[in-house]
Structure 1
């Protein structure tokens, strides 16, 4: 059986999970804090997830994919009805959003954009580590890590924790698959690979061949709740590249949002109250979508999007934004929601809060001293 690298990576399913930041047990006097990053691959449409209210021009430009019903958030923004868990948490001051935001990338390539959203850099493929991995290294989170898919995402590279696990069960993969693994990790020698496979096949962690987001999230919630468990979890949700038949209340984009929502729901239900109260969940995507629908009732690659957040470390329920407006002259290149907040400011503030590291140090060590705004006091609890 022949298998290409692209096909192999597809077998990691729509949702994958990575753990990191195992360390010494946290004593009762210390609160163990958790950071969960959910990568929404394909370009999440922030204006579909959190649409602006009563904007006639926006409604006209999306006449075939407008939401026919929404959940109320604020006087200015509504919420997609697929985000039921997000709304229930909102009512408890346990969810929030940052709108009109993006990484400093204005191109429209998935490959370049996803590389930059994970590396935190400005030039595609220049950085070999991820912003989360560098943040963990700065915080001293260099214990054993676990990745429940292959390959280890760039986002969490840069900290000594690379122990990958492709969830194939306790039976050996096809020889061709093993050969492909060798090619993917060709920088390692064969003995090291064999040793790692032996660890994988004898590991007690029960999360084999699980594609459903809620199953992965339930396992993650249990592990994150342990005093000596991981402090970081990373999910990947694919499918947000809706060039055609994006849908509105229902449809492709709604299904992806529901997948995200199920992760948050399952995390919340599987974690202890104390653990969720000390957890922060944030999303990450490469770019947003165009304001105007295309002829296939979808949207093209855009610029500004939104960051969805959940957890007890949020300061309050809010849509934090410096709203740029949706008139043509206010759009990026006359077609996209503009980005007025560097998403890296949110992630730097999140790591500062969860890892208990000064924002300035995160800014210097993780983002090379780039000009970022400290949003910790506006978004998160100390």
Structure 2
């Protein structure tokens, strides 16, 4: 995928620098040439020897190397690569980039380059949330810098939240996408996400606890692999991912209509938590209390979007992936659901209250296919999305 591509990898000072070693290995496995740059702070976490051994290339560390500077080496170094990747991207280095500072080799290379730049941020959650950091990120995005991550999860400092560096495979996917060479290039994929809201009257509705976080992560992961993603989302708590075509809906009926309008697609991932029922007759005005009497609501069944698409004869995607949120007998219920709906895969999880899955930052899933079940370890929703996206890419290329 990355054969003949030259990546200048800047490894800054953060605990996530150890992931950069695996990133180097994965880039070289895909045919890329990696030239590493290690900051002084980065040397506190990984050694120049380990970086050099994995890259198969000299590690650049000093701005004022007289032999190289005789030929303006730092200028040539910054412009000979096809892409500059900063992983980990610390708050300090991103601040230098946003301010245009050039007081070490890494910041000088980033200022002197006319090559595209991709940053994988990594820092404490409070640093990530700080207004100064968010202001710097906005500046860099406005300058054309691309980002991958960060993910949510446990921090080395003991805190939890956004700030974990994206996993190496996520960064590889973002790099491939930057070159327009992702494994899903040319593929059109539909993703549904979030809850649906089924109106009772103008101010009330039926809903569920889905945040839309898993669906959003999946849409972003597929887009980073090069897919054209049609992202149909209910009123979710999280923002839709970047790089997708967003279609906003409210109800199950609206979601079905949006899904049908999006077809044909190569694959459909139905991660939305669609309400099973709706009120049969929505009131046009607010339902009032009547002397303590309770209103009587008559329910109707919502359309089964997953089953409808799975059982289509002409416009059925070649791969249909459903989701099963269960509270007991997860494998049995999810396996039965896959057969009943007619989809190819079911991503099943236990959403019992004690798991913290529904609306949380992590997921613990089983992938149910025709050949059996595959148990994935509990991981962040971004990591689940990346793993699923890679499996979809593999299936569509078979």
Give the TM-score taking structure 1 as reference length: 0.31
Greater relative contact order (Cα < 8 A, sep 6+): 1
Give the TM-score taking structure 2 as reference length: 0.30
Highest CA radius of gyration, 1 or 2?
2
> By percentage of residues, which structure has more strand?
2
